[in-house]
Amino acid sequence: MIKQIFTWWNHQTLGTFLYTIFFGKFVGKDNSGNKYYQNSKGKRWVIYNGEINASKIESDWYQWMHYQTNSDPLKTKVSKYSWQKPHSDNKTGTKKAYRPNKITNKKKDFKKYESWKP
């Protein structure tokens, strides 16, 4: 509990924890382990599993969180197309981030710019 108070950037805050206990109604849980809640007035929020990162929210739950749909994503399973990939969060800034071949080529030093030659 003390760790939760002082490390709010990794998990929910104490205020969110108490608000969830007293006013939150559990709606569902996605494949990443994020938990979704709603109060009696219609306010919706998410408790992230692990690091707080908004790109962890799947598209079905994103629509629910932003009031684009009122149907619970667990009850209304939308069929996915064969070409659709499973959800993954944003990898920018990590070792798994996309890097074009020009940057990952280790044979020569890569500059972000090329000098102008007359």
The tens digit of pLDDT for each residue in 48-67 reads: 888 888 888 988 899 999 99
- Which pLDDT band, with edges at 50, 70 and 90, does 37 fall under? very high
- pLDDT value at residue 35: 93
Q: Which residues contact 116 (CB under 8 A, 6 or more apart)?
A: none
Give tens-digit pLDDT for 81-103.
888 888 888 888 888 887 776 55
How far apart, in Å, are the Cα atoms of 112 and each of 98, 102, 105, 109?
Answer: 16, 10, 13, 10
Q: In what order do the strands lie in the sheet with 44-47?
A: 25-29, 35-38, 44-47
Q: Determine the pLDDT at residue 88.
A: 83
Is the per-residue pLDDT at 47 higher than 70?
yes
Residue of 98 and 111 predicted with greater confidence: 98
Instruction: Check pLDDT > 80 for residue 108.
Output: no
The CA R_g of the chain, rounded to the nearest whole Å, is: 20
Please tell me the predicted confidence (pLDDT) of residue 112.
66
- For the chain, the average pLDDT equals 80
